[in-house]
Amino acid sequence: MEPVYHAPGTLDEVLALLAIGRGEARILAGGQTLVPLLFRVEDEPHTLIDLRRIVPLRAIDATATQVALGAMVTLQAAELALRTSLPQVAAALRCVGTAPIRARATVGGTAALADPWAELVTCLHALDAELVLVAEGRERRVRAIDFFHGIRRTARQPDELLRQVVLPLPVPGERHAYHEFTVRESGGKARALAFARRRDGRTTLTLAGERLMPLRVDGTISAAQAALRHEDPSARALLLRVAGQALAMLDEETDPCA
Amino acid sequence: MRVTLVLNGDARTLDVDTTERLCDTLRERLDLTATHVGCSEGVCGACTILLDDTPARACLALTVQCDGARVETLEGLTPADALSPAQQAFVQHGAVQCGFCTPGFLAVIEGLRRQGDAASWDEATLRRELSTVACRCTGYDGIVRAARAVLQPTP
Ligand SMILES: Cc1cc2nc3c(=O)[nH]c(=O)nc-3n(C[C@H](O)[C@H](O)[C@H](O)COP(=O)(O)OP(=O)(O)OC[C@H]3O[C@@H](n4cnc5c(N)ncnc54)[C@H](O)[C@@H]3O)c2cc1C
Ligand code: FES
Ligand code: FES
């Protein structure tokens, strides 16, 4: 059965459709992951709710202390918007796929999917970002650590829309460094991501991989080694290498993204 | 579902299925077969077209999502009785063998040309941007030379 397609013009209509959809309604954002699933009929929702006409979801609102990205902000637009305020997040977003993918894939779709190797997911974790979820008559803000429950599992309820992600801006003296490495080999790829953050004299390291949801540890290699002791040896070696690189970048005098 | 696309400059109103992909509307419904379909997963780039001036995968867009948008395929980027400058460059630099990937590369190069900042790019940046399309035949050097001829012309 072909799903019923809606492209409502207001957020209220989206929330009403989600409320009556009882988990059978699927939100369509950039479609870069969902369209192939619909095509292969692996995902057969009875309703598709396309967010493309909800203009406020494309808003980027910056204050002195935070940047809020609407769910429909593309990864390309987010990358551009964050180049000066959060250059290492912008650098991470430049690693996503290639330009035609970034031009369509969205912040909300990426966060809602919760792929372990998604750059944005690691950045949200590392920075203690908040995610804003809305449903008919309610709204809540959830910290990234509480939002991402596991590989492709989140705290989002079926009737909730992810409306916004809120990234805190660095405090004076705060430093960030992002590094990732992807090995492509026949039969798949291995990927490791590391985000190092030094704030108020304390360093943390957020690590993620092909099958590892972001994990935050103290910013030392020995802490990373201990946290990764159950990973398989090749994944662990790659993660430690990327972790070392991110920590080294943190100590470079020059900002790697300046 | 009824949708209107501005297709290669002309408004076209069509009835399409909800889960119909843009690449299938183009190829099956409209017989615009320059848009090739390889992987259907966004990886190979053969289906890349211009959507509101920006290169996008036609296999990763539902046609209903494109209602009101400008869609340009290689048919629209090719003059009626000649080759476009980019096509001429592909011929001149040996950037085509089987031609399966060529429509995707031409869409990407046209998108970069309109965006306008490729003129100052170094070789690595140009290669990275072109890597969004996969070629199984040419070894890429001809494609990079053709792209450079279009995007970074030497006076
Ligand atoms: C070739 C290729 C390479 C890629 N490489 C990378 C990469 O290197 N790194 C990376 O991180 N990603 C990568 N991606 C994934 C791409 O970024 C995803 O498609 C994207 O993360 C999903 O965003 P979308 O807007 O396309 O969402 P969609 O595909 O439209 O939706 C994805 C899921 O999220 C749900 N959803 C969407 N928006 C919301 C919302 N606001 N609230 C609640 N639920 C919502 C949908 O219902 C669906 O289940 C790649 C994709 C492709 C095709
Ligand atoms: S067919 Fe669309 S990217 Fe391969
Ligand atoms: S020329 Fe054959 S795939 Fe590129």
Residue A257 is predicted with a pLDDT of 38
Residue type for position A123: C
| CATH number of the structural domain spanning residue B146 | 1.10.150.120
Identity of the residue in A3, A97, A98 whose CB atom sits nearest the CB atom of B19: A3
Q: Could you name the CATH architecture of A4-168?
A: 2-Layer Sandwich (3.30)
Confidence class for position A44, pLDDT limits 50, 70, 90: confident
| Whether residue B31 sits in one domain with residue B11 | yes
Burial of residue A101, with CB atoms counted within 10 A of its CB: 0-12 exposed, 13-18 middle, 19 or more buried: buried
| Whether residue B117 sits in one domain with residue B58 | no
| Whether residue B90 sits in one domain with residue B58 | no
Range of the domain at B63: 2-74
Residue B98 within any structural domain of the chain: yes
* C-alpha span between A101 and A97 (Å, rounded): 6
Q: Are B151 and B120 in contact (CB under 8 A)?
A: no
Percent of chain A with pLDDT over 90: 89
Residues 190-249 of A with CB under 8 A from B: none
Of the three residues B42, B74, B106, the one that is the final residue of a domain is B74
Residue B94 is predicted with a pLDDT of 97
| CATH number of the structural domain spanning residue B14 | 3.10.20.30
Number of structural domains, chain B?
A: 2
* C-alpha span between B117 and B69 (Å, rounded): 24
* C-alpha span between B106 and B113 (Å, rounded): 10
| Whether residue B70 sits in one domain with residue B94 | no
* C-alpha span between A14 and A11 (Å, rounded): 5
Q: Is A39 on the interface with B (CB under 8 A)?
A: yes
For residue A4, what is the nearest residue in chain B, using CA coordinates? B18
Residue A186 is predicted with a pLDDT of 64
SS3 at position A162: strand
Of the three residues B74, B109, B126, the one that is the final residue of a domain is B74
Are B65 and A50 inside 8 Å of each other by CB?
Answer: yes
> Per-residue pLDDT for A184 more than 80?
no
Q: Tens-of-pLDDT digits for all 155 residues of chain B?
A: 999 999 999 999 999 999 999 999 999 999 999 999 999 999 999 999 999 999 999 999 999 999 999 999 999 999 999 999 999 999 999 999 999 999 999 999 999 999 999 999 999 999 999 999 999 999 999 999 999 999 999 87
Residue B135 within any structural domain of the chain: yes
* Mean pLDDT computed over A105-116: 98
Residue B125 is predicted with a pLDDT of 95
Confidence class for position A187, pLDDT limits 50, 70, 90: low
Distance from CA of B12 to the nearest CA of A (A): 19
Of the three residues B22, B47, B74, the one that is the final residue of a domain is B74
| Whether residue B91 sits in one domain with residue B113 | yes
pLDDT 10s digits, B57-90:
999 999 999 999 999 999 999 999 999 999 999 9
If phi > 0 it is left, if psi is from -120 to 50 it is alpha, else beta; for residue A80 that is alpha
